[in-house]
Amino acid sequence: SYELTQPPSVSVSPGQTASITCSGDKLGDNYVCWYQQKPGQSPVMVIYHDSKRPSGIPERFSGSNSGNTATLTISGTQAIDEADYYCQAWDSSTVVFGGGTKLTVL
């Protein structure tokens, strides 16, 4: 079965750029989306179609996908961005989630 691998944790200082990666075999051949989940809340999609932002998502969230790696980038990270982030793709008629990355804003 297809697997997506994310680092368990990423730390960033306020105002800096955070990058969260998601790796999978030939991932660039699939489209990737990203979800943000804060404690006790349901996930919220922040990026779809590799790099598109849903309505209401701040411009500081961006995404890219090439080769075997997709990346979620948060520019000018704020304390409110501290959350778990999950990548997701569609492969062989199944939804696949990455294991999740805990973003800490120090």
Q: Which residues bind other proteins (CB under 8 A)?
A: 1, 31-33, 35, 37, 42-45, 48-50, 54, 86, 88, 90, 93-100
Count the neighbouring beta carbons within 10 Å of the beta carbon of residue 56: 7
User: CB 35 → other proteins: shortest distance, Å?
Assistant: 8
Residue 71: CB minimum distance to other proteins, A:
16
CA angle 79, 60, 17 (to 5 degrees): 65
Residue with tokens 């294991």: 99
Instruction: Decide whether 45 or 75 has the Cβ nearer to other proteins.
Output: 45
Token duo for residue 71: 């990346």
